[in-house]
Amino acid sequence: MSAVAVLKIGSTTTSLLIAKNLSSPLAVEQHVINLFDPDAELQLDKTVGYFTQMVERLSCHKRLAAGGQALRQFPNLRNSLDSRGWPLWIPDGPWEGRLSWFAVKAQEPDMDWLIDIGGGSTELASASRTVSLPIGAAAPNMNIDWPQDIHAEAPYAVGGTAHAIRILTGDPIITLDTVKRIQHEITEHPKWLDSMDLVRRQVFPQGLAVVRAVMEHYQWQELRYSSQGFLQGIWLTASLGRDGVGAGGIDE
């Protein structure tokens, strides 16, 4: 099998994955870019240019870029992908959650529900249901209608906020008490976040608020972190032959 290259254009992180199989990727790299910033188009163009050079050095011809809320809201962000020949897929929110769910389920067969905390939206996904909420680390809208009948026994968490919590605590189990403790620490001691890059420092408090709100609403005492997610779901889609045309979202 030849290598497959995919780009995830997230609201706060843009990531590259090049692999022949997910167990031993040839390259994995991400740049933190807040696509809601005024200079986002320039930052994204530089990053896409850099990632494209990596793909070309590895002579990887099979490629796919995908993104969500920011690309839907700001069509001009697609220019850097178009100019460099990246097929672009913009799945809707439920499809984002579904792709993340498949990627995690492949490694965690006992998983029932998944929460994917992104920059512009948050997805809840299971084997039979996927919902997208208009809240995220860069989207501070907490006035939402919560989906009912979500009863998870072993929910997993993915996305930048979950990853940051995992790094801060060194523990793959994210408890509600831990989230509350981190919120208290960064309120009382803002320098606690100095180890993070500027964009992550800006969005992490809101990401924490989203995690806490979801856990409290559904009475989840803990989440299990997974390093898999939307990026790996895009790769699985591309490796199965998706060419950028199909259902489930906006295809460019």
CATH code at 32?
A: 3.30.420.40
Dist. CA 35–CA 74, nearest whole Å: 9
Dist. CA 194–CA 213, nearest whole Å: 25
Task: Report the Cα 140 to chain-centroid distance in Å.
Answer: 17
Could you identify the residue written with the tokens 């792709």?
Answer: 99
Q: What is the pLDDT confidence band of residue 120, given thresholds at 50, 70 and 90? A: confident
- Mean pLDDT for 95-115 is 93
Residue 165 host element (H or E): helix 160-169
Q: What is the pLDDT of residues 202-244, one digit of tens each?
A: 889 999 999 999 999 999 999 999 999 999 999 999 998 754 4
> Is 0.75 topped by the overall pTM?
yes
Same-domain check for residues 202 and 192: yes
Percent of the chain whose pLDDT exceeds 90: 64
Same-domain check for residues 98 and 85: no
The pLDDT, as a whole number, for residue 235 is 95
Same-domain check for residues 235 and 218: no
**Average pLDDT of the chain?**
89
Could you identify the residue written with the tokens 């990026």?
Answer: 231
CATH code where residue 203 lies: 3.30.420.150
**φ, ψ at 224 (rounded to 5°):** -110, 125
The pLDDT, as a whole number, for residue 230 is 93
Same-domain check for residues 142 and 43: no
Same-domain check for residues 182 and 79: no
Q: Residues for the chain: how many in total?
A: 252
- Provide the domain count of the chain: 2
Q: Which residues pair with 222 in a beta bridge?
A: 175
Q: Which domain holds residue 203?
A: 93-225
Same-domain check for residues 86 and 200: no
Q: What is the pLDDT of residues 11-56, one digit of tens each?
A: 888 999 999 999 899 999 999 888 988 999 999 999 999 999 999 9
The pLDDT, as a whole number, for residue 242 is 57
The pLDDT, as a whole number, for residue 248 is 40
The pLDDT, as a whole number, for residue 251 is 47
Dist. CA 98–CA 95, nearest whole Å: 5
Using CA of residue 51, residue 115, residue 193, residue 134, what is the dihedral sign? positive
